[in-house]
Amino acid sequence: MLKKIDHIGIAVRHLADAAAVYGGAFGLEAGEIETIPGQKVRVQKFQIGGIRIEFLEPISDDSPVSKFLAKRGEGVHHLCYAVSDLDQAVRELKSHEMAFTGEPVIGSDGKPIIFIHPGSANGVLIELVEERQAEQNS
Ligand code: ZN
């Protein structure tokens, strides 16, 4: 079901601080900053060997990332795995009694995503993103 790690999400208070470390000290090329209204975050991406590191900065106090920062401070927020068919993956996981934090929504790059509740996955918030076959080869 899981094809690969798509990205790792890291919660930060300010994207500029992440850019200083990843774009500065580590010397990686910073991607465009994208606002995702549905998740109430701004995102900046860095590519490392085919895996993205995505920094998440909340754009409002009721963003899930705001709540995370208030509770735990900056740090790793979630892991994202790619699947080829999100609906099918959700059906399968529900048959294994796994819980989700909500319904599928449109995430970064317009792709459907869903989050598995950390209580169902060893304390880690897991995002699933649908990655169609055609996009894999691009
Ligand atoms: Zn993510």
Distance from C-alpha of 90 to C-alpha of 100, rounded to nearest angstrom: 9
> Cα(78) to centroid of ligand 1, in Å?
7
Distance from C-alpha of 103 to C-alpha of 122, rounded to nearest angstrom: 20
> Cα(8) to centroid of ligand 1, in Å?
7
9: pLDDT strictly greater than 50: yes
Q: What is the percent of the chain where pLDDT is above 90?
A: 86
pTM over 0.85: yes
pLDDT confidence bin for 84, thresholds 50/70/90 = very high
Least-confidence region, from 5-14, 45-54, 125-134: 125-134
> Cα(4) to centroid of ligand 1, in Å?
13
| Pair 94, 76: CB distance under 8 Å | no
92: pLDDT strictly greater than 50: yes
Both structure tokens of 66? 């705001």
Q: What's the CA angle centered on 32, arms 36 and 133, to 5 degrees? A: 75
pLDDT digits (tens, 9 = 90+) for 66-79: 999 999 999 999 99
98: pLDDT strictly greater than 90: yes
Half-sphere exposure of 54 (CA within 13 A, CB side): 24
> Cα(107) to centroid of ligand 1, in Å?
8
| Pair 57, 106: CB distance under 8 Å | no
Q: Does the domain at residues 2-136 carry the CATH identifier 3.90.1010.10? A: no
pLDDT confidence bin for 138, thresholds 50/70/90 = very low
> What is the mean predicted confidence (pLDDT) over 92-109?
93
pLDDT of residue 39: 85
| Pair 39, 63: CB distance under 8 Å | yes
Residue 103 φ then ψ, to 5°: -90, 165
> Cα(126) to centroid of ligand 1, in Å?
8
Residue 35 φ then ψ, to 5°: -95, 130
- Mean of all residue pLDDT scores within the chain: 93
pLDDT digits (tens, 9 = 90+) for 39-72: 899 999 999 998 999 999 999 999 999 999 999 9
Distance from C-alpha of 22 to C-alpha of 52, rounded to nearest angstrom: 12
Quick count: other Cβ atoms within 10 Å of Cβ 98?
Answer: 15
Q: Which of 5, 57, 51 is nearest to 28 (CA)?
A: 51
